[in-house]
Amino acid sequence: MCEHSSVAAIGFGYTTEYMSVSIPSPPTHVRGLIRSVGLLTATSVVIANVIGGGIFTTPGFLARDLGSPTALMGIWVLGAILALAGALSYSELGSTFPEAGGEYVYLREAYGPLAAYVDGWISFFAGFTAPIAAACIGFAAYVSHFAPALGPDYVLTSLDLGGWHWRLSGAQLLGLIALWAVTIIHISGVERGARFQVIVTIGKVLALTALVVLGFLLGTGDWGHFEAGPDGHLPAAALRNLPISLIFVLYCYSGWNAAAYLAGEVREPGRTIPRSLIAGTGVVTVLYMGLNLLFIYGLPLPEMSGVLQIGEKASLALFGHSATHFVSVVMALSILASASAMILAGPRVYYAMASDGVIPKQLAGVHSRYHSPAASILLQTLWTSVLLLTGTFEQLIIYSGFVLVLFSALAVASVIVLRVRRPGLERPFRVPLYPFTPLLYIGFSAWILYFTLRDRPTESLWGIVTALIGIPLYFYWRRRNRVP
Q: What CATH number is given to the structural domain containing 41?
A: 1.20.1740.10
Cβ atoms within 10 Å of 482's Cβ, excluding its own: 7
In a domain, 24, yes or no: no
What pTM was estimated for this model as a whole?
0.86
300-316 per-position pLDDT tens digit: 988 988 887 888 889 88
In a domain, 49, yes or no: yes
The pLDDT of 396-407, averaged and rounded, is 84
Confidence label for 362 from pLDDT (cuts 50, 70 and 90): very high
Residue range(s) defining the domain that contains residue 227: 36-480
Separation CA 434–CA 172 (nearest Å): 46
Average pLDDT of the chain, as a whole number = 87
Confidence label for 85 from pLDDT (cuts 50, 70 and 90): very high
At 191 the pLDDT is 87
The pLDDT of 184-198, averaged and rounded, is 93
At 406 the pLDDT is 92
In a domain, 75, yes or no: yes
In a domain, 20, yes or no: no
Which of 317-326, 360-369, 469-478 shows the lowest per-residue confidence on average (mean pLDDT)? 317-326
21-40 per-position pLDDT tens digit: 333 333 334 447 888 899 99
In a domain, 82, yes or no: yes
At 448 the pLDDT is 87
In a domain, 4, yes or no: no
Report whether pLDDT(284) > 80. yes
Total domains in the fold of the chain: 1
Cα–Cα distances (Å) from 315 to 283, 298, 304, in that order, read 22, 7, 12
Q: Which residue has the higher pLDDT, 206 or 322?
A: 206
In a domain, 8, yes or no: no
At 2 the pLDDT is 37
Q: Which residue has the higher pLDDT, 255 or 27?
A: 255
In a domain, 212, yes or no: yes
Report whether pLDDT(414) > 90. yes
Q: What percent of the chain has pLDDT over 70?
A: 92
Q: Which residue has the higher pLDDT, 203 or 164?
A: 203
